[in-house]
């Protein structure tokens, strides 16, 4: 299907997006079509957000990663202007007046829709801890809905933490938000220092792909998998192989 608003909406319905769902969206919109200019990219972002909102309805929510890793990189965090590493669509949504932000200095998230107030209030010190954005979203029976990306997501770190893997630890980072004079702490769940392993999701993708429903759109695709099923895949994979989500570094 060529990429346009009608076909994109149809692709969402084909993969099972329904009213009231909460979707977390990683994206690489560069694969959808050829772009003439920045205006064309912005038009594509408008189509994507509007059709996603139409598909989930007023009671559903859309969440987009706007990760900056500001404290990790010894930088001040400016919620409105610190540039994320998560692509054009996430930056576009962050600038929308109707969006709300979960202002974690490292792994911030921007949310549209009915659940934005609940999902963005009071960010926690620990990025993947109890009552963090990721914990709340999982408890809402959320879904991963990726554009031109496989079934992986940041939520794998939440599940690694819940399952207490032995190769990651909570590491504190300290920094300043905007021009405030008081330093604050923000914890990220990282691979242990001097560990010989690094993240590797190949085994996860092999096991999860049968649950990841995909529909082609434009030159790319859109896919969906529930976080409940994602957690089950991680739990099963780690039970069989403690290195399910990592590999030895070269």
Confidence grade of residue 196 (pLDDT, cut at 50, 70, 90): confident
Q: How confident is the model at residue 233 (pLDDT cuts 50, 70, 90)?
A: very high
pLDDT value of position 1? 86
Residue 182: pLDDT band (50, 70, 90) is very high
Extract the tokens encoding 132: 């963090």
198 pLDDT above the threshold of 90: no
Tell which residue, 50, 11, 18, 51, has the closest CA to residue 143. 18
Mean predicted confidence (pLDDT) in 190-202: 85
Write the DSSP symbol of residue 189: E
Using DSSP's 3-state secondary structure scheme, residue 79 falls into coil
Continuous segment of H or E residues that includes residue 143? strand 143-147
Averaged pLDDT for residues 240-249: 90
- State how far the Cα of 119 lies from the Cα of 97, in Å rounded to an integer: 17
Which contacts qualify for 229-232: CB closer than 8 Å, 24 or more apart? 230/144, 230/151, 230/153, 230/155, 230/156, 230/159, 231/138, 231/159, 231/162
Q: What are the pLDDT digits (tens) for 55-93?
A: 999 999 999 999 999 999 999 999 999 999 999 999 999
User: Which pLDDT score is estimated for 125?
Assistant: 97
Question: Is the pLDDT reported for residue 194 higher than 80?
Answer: no
Residue 195 pLDDT > 80: no
User: What is the reported pLDDT for 160?
Assistant: 97
The chain-wide mean pLDDT, for the chain, equals: 95
The tokens of 161 are what? Answer: 């933490």
Q: What percent of the chain has a predicted confidence (pLDDT) above 70?
A: 100
143, burial (CB in 10 Å: exposed 0-12, middle 13-18, buried 19+):
buried
Spans of all domains in the chain: 5-248
- pLDDT band of 100, cuts 50, 70, 90: very high
Q: What is the pLDDT of residue 9?
A: 98
Please give the pLDDT value at position 11. Answer: 97
Q: Tell me: the pLDDT tens digits for 20-39?
A: 999 999 999 988 888 888 89
- What pLDDT, on a 0 to 100 scale, did the predictor assign at position 85? 95
Q: Which two tokens stand for residue 168?
A: 């990651």
- Which pLDDT value is given to residue 199? 87
Q: Rounded mean pLDDT of 108-121?
A: 97
């Amino acid at each position: 299907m060529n990429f346009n608003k009608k076909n994109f909406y149809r692709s969402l319905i084909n993969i099972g997006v329904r009213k009231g769902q909460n979707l977390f969206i990683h994206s690489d919109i560069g694969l959808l079509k050829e772009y003439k200019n920045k205006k064309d990219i912005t038009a594509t972002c408008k189509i994507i957000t509007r059709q996603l909102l139409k598909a989930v309805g007023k009671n559903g929510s859309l969440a987009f990663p706007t990760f900056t890793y500001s404290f990790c990189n010894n930088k001040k965090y400016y919620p409105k202007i610190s540039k994320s590493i998560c692509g054009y669509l996430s930056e576009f949504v962050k600038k929308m007046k109707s969006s709300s932000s979960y202002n974690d200095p490292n792994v911030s998230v921007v949310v549209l829709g009915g659940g934005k107030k609940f999902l963005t209030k009071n960010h926690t010190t620990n990025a993947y801890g109890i009552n963090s954005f990721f914990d709340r979203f999982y408890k809402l029976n959320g879904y991963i809905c990726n554009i031109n990306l496989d079934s992986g997501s940041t939520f794998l770190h939440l599940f690694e933490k819940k399952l207490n893997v032995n190769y990651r630890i909570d590491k504190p980072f300290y920094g300043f938000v905007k021009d405030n004079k008081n330093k604050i702490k923000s914890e990220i769940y990282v691979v242990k220092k001097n560990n010989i392993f690094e993240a590797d999701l190949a085994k996860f993708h092999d096991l999860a792909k049968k649950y990841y429903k995909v529909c082609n759109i434009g030159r790319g695709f859109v896919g969906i998998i529930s976080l409940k099923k994602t957690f089950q895949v991680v739990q099963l994979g780690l039970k069989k192989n403690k290195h399910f989500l990592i590999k030895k570094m070269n």
